[in-house]
């Protein structure tokens, strides 16, 4: 008997004010821009067209993810389950600061990061820690059917690496994720293999990608 397919549809949030200003955001929140709200509406249309009404909708508990999810929920009804494990990486004291500001204040840490060392950003989390909590959350919600997950760029990258069993810090090899892009993972079936169906697929024109999560 064939096991029922489990499809995880990961959606990065719409453009935020700190995305525009290229500031580290982490678990702080600057709110969606007007463009970000428009992107959320366009993403919702694509989600309904491609996936219809999901069997489950889950969102990070940060406002920029919840507000992005709201556009889809208005179309399909119901409510989203919130999960704090789907928050962006904790960037500690780097939150609210630009990449240039952090580089000037912490050149050794930035140099280590660029060499591939998985440092705790600003005294917050490493990508390895992010990957552990994000993948644990996704494993728990991977019931039969389609699950739409509204989350963050760093979370999408580590989830993709985990699904493909790319050793940490292999997520560095994945391109930054655009606002309101879709990443689709078919969760393990009878063969125990996860399959990447789509990565960073755009739903709206003019979306941003950021190296500052």
Residue 49 pLDDT exceeds 80: yes
Q: Tell how many helices (H) and how many strands (E) occur in the chain.
A: 7, 6
Higher-confidence position of 170 and 130:
130
Q: 145-151 and 81-82 as β-strands: parallel, antiparallel, unpaired?
A: unpaired
Instruction: Please tell me which residue in 15, 41, 88, 125 is annotated as part of the active site.
Output: 88
Residue 53 pLDDT exceeds 70: yes
Q: How many CB atoms lie within 10 A of CB 201?
A: 13
Ordered by where they begin, the domains of the chain are 6-201 (3.40.50.1240)
Q: Are 149 and 59 within 8 A, CB to CB? A: yes
What is the rounded CA–CA span in Å between residue 114 and residue 28?
23
What is the rounded CA–CA span in Å between residue 178 and residue 15?
9
Instruction: Please tell me which residue in 13, 106, 187, 194 is annotated as part of the active site.
Output: 13
Beta carbons within 8 Å of 121's beta carbon, 6+ residues apart: 24, 26, 89, 90, 91, 92, 94, 109, 113
Residue 209 pLDDT exceeds 80: no
Residue 12 pLDDT exceeds 60: yes
- Lowest average pLDDT, out of 68-82, 172-186, 199-213, goes to 199-213
What is the rounded CA–CA span in Å between residue 114 and residue 164?
23
pTM for the structure as a whole: 0.94
Residue 171 pLDDT exceeds 50: yes
Tens of pLDDT, residues 14-27: 999 999 999 999 99
Residue 1: pLDDT band with limits 50, 70, 90: very low
Amino acid 205: pLDDT: 66
Nearest Cα to 82, choosing from 52, 51, 53, 57? Answer: 57
Higher-confidence position of 2 and 135:
135
Residue 10: pLDDT band with limits 50, 70, 90: very high
Does the annotation mark 41 as catalytic?
no
| Section 96-119 average pLDDT | 92
- CA within 13 Å, CB half, 144: 4
Amino acid 4: pLDDT: 60
- Lowest average pLDDT, out of 30-34, 117-121, 158-162, 191-195, goes to 191-195
Does the annotation mark 101 as catalytic?
no
Residue 207 pLDDT exceeds 70: no
């Amino acid at each position: 008997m064939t096991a029922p397919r489990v499809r995880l549809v990961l959606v990065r949030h719409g453009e935020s004010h700190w995305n525009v200003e290229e500031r580290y955001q982490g678990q702080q929140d600057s709110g969606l821009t007007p463009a970000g709200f428009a992107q959320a509406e366009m993403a919702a249309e694509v989600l309904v067209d491609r996936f219809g009404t999901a069997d489950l909708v889950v969102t990070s508990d940060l406002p920029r993810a919840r507000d992005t999810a709201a556009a889809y929920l208005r179309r399909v009804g119901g409510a989203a389950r919130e999960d704090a494990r789907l928050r962006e990486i904790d960037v500690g004291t780097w939150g609210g600061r630009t990449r240039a500001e952090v580089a000037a204040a912490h050149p050794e840490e930035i140099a280590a990061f660029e060499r591939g060392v998985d440092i705790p950003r600003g005294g917050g989390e490493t990508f390895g820690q992010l990957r552990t909590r994000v993948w644990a959350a996704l494993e728990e919600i991977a019931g039969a059917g389609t699950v739409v997950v509204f989350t963050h760029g760093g979370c999408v990258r580590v989830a993709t690496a985990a699904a493909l069993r790319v050793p940490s810090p292999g997520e560095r090899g994945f391109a930054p994720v655009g606002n309101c892009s879709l990443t689709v993972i078919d969760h393990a079936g009878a063969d125990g293999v996860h399959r990447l169906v789509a990565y960073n697929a755009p739903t709206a024109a003019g979306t941003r990608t950021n190296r500052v999560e």
